[in-house]
């Protein structure tokens, strides 16, 4: 490379670098300034105008409207993107068949240009209007509705296939769509699906969330027991809380005793956390927890439960146990200490 060519190359690099920095500065907006710019125009009317006569036959005209708004020179950039964002969100109210693929494809590839600083990191920039994200949300909503419709059919025609599809699916929209449909079915159909799911829970713990929904509707104590025995994953705790909504306190106490005696310790601990607040003033429930203080696996869970707004009788019982020198005594003292700290801090677990 000659010296002249080298100098020219360096000048070109410097020019491109300066241009890039200038573009970034042009696109970066102060949040308050961007919001003020949006208020200068009628965003809702612009979004509605794009959607007027939206149909597969008019897809080319709709796409032209979007592109015209993108380039509208008499509107500030944040206002243009706010209107496009609002239009994109409105598509969730329509079926997939009403929107031409090229429109959603265009929105899915939109490069947002109104950038604002991250709240926690001033050097980072994010789109003020994430139009790509809104388009992805539309796709998710369409999928969810389509899978829910599929589930309504399977509930009536092939409930076993519904359970199988739920197990093998890697699509969260499919699973949530199935659950939404199941939540709206009648108790007889729900009970049939619950029986199928219970048979497969031991080898497919992903059914925990499905059984949480059905058990909450059917109030089937056997189903809840199976959840306690074989339920797994992040869905178990919400499942137990949901199922408990239909139970009377004596049933909850009985199921808690079952969990303590038969369920894996992690599941029993989750049952204590989910159910204790509603039964903590019942003598039978308190006796269960007091008896657990010395348990190697569940003693800490019992102590934490007993520290939650204990009544006078519970505090007295904890103090009596705490006088000794045993694991139970240390856990009883731990419960008293946690409660004392909560009172001092004005907090609760």
Predicted TM-score (pTM) of this structure: 0.76
Closest CA to 337 of 312, 303, 313, 314: 303
- Per-residue pLDDT reduced to its tens digit, 270-315: 999 999 999 999 999 999 999 999 999 999 999 999 999 899 999 9
Cα separation of the two ends of the chain: 71
Distance of CA 180 to the CA centre of its chain: 14
Give the contacts of 4 (CB within 8 A, at least 6 positions apart): none
* Per-residue DSSP letter, 93: G
Percent of the chain with pLDDT over 90: 72
CA distances from residue 332 to 62, 95, 311, 317, 318 in whole angstroms, order as listed:
69, 59, 14, 9, 5
CA distance 115 to 117: 7
- H-run or E-run covering 229: helix 221-230
How long, in residues, is the chain? Answer: 349
- Per-residue pLDDT reduced to its tens digit, 31-74: 899 999 999 999 999 999 998 878 777 888 999 999 999 999 99
- Per-residue pLDDT reduced to its tens digit, 205-231: 999 999 989 988 888 999 999 999 999
- Per-residue pLDDT reduced to its tens digit, 158-185: 999 999 999 999 999 999 999 999 999 9
Rounded to an integer, the average pLDDT of 327-337 is 95
């Amino acid at each position: 490379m000659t010296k002249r060519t080298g100098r020219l190359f360096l000048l070109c690099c410097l020019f491109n670098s300066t241009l890039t920095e200038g573009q970034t500065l042009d696109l970066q907006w102060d949040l308050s300034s961007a919001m003020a710019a949006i208020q200068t125009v009628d965003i809702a009317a612009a979004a509605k105008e794009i959607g007027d006569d939206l149909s597969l036959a008019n897809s080319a005209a709709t796409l032209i409207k979007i592109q015209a708004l993108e380039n509208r020179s008499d509107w500030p950039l944040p206002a243009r993107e706010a209107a496009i964002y609002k239009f994109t969100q409105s598509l969730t109210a329509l079926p997939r068949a009403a929107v031409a693929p090229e429109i959603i494809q265009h929105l899915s590839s939109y490069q947002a240009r109104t950038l604002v600083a991250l709240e926690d990191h001033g050097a980072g920039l994010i789109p003020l209007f994430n139009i790509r994200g809104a388009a992805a949300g539309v796709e998710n909503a369409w999928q969810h509705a389509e899978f829910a419709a599929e589930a309504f059919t399977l509930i009536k025609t092939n409930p076993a296939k519904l359970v199988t599809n739920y197990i093998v699916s890697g699509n969260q929209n499919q699973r949530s769509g199935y659950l939404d449909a199941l939540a709206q079915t009648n108790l007889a159909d729900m009970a049939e699906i619950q029986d199928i799911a219970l048979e497969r829970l031991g080898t497919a713990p992903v059914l925990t969330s499905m059984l949480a929904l059905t058990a909450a509707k059917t109030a089937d104590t056997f189903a809840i027991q199976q959840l306690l025995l074989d339920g797994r994953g992040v869905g178990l705790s919400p499942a137990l809380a949901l199922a408990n909504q239909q139970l009377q306190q004596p049933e909850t106490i009985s199921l808690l005793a079952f969990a303590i005696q038969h369920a894996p310790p992690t599941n029993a601990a989750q049952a204590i956390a989910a159910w204790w607040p509603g039964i903590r003033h019942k003598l039978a429930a308190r006796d269960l927890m007091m008896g657990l203080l010395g348990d190697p696996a569940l003693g800490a869970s019992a102590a934490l439960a007993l520290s939650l707004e204990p009544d006078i009788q519970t505090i007295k019982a904890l103090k009596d146990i705490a006088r000794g020198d045993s694991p139970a005594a240390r856990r009883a003292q731990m419960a008293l200490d946690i409660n004392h700290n909560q009172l001092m801090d004005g907090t609760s677990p």
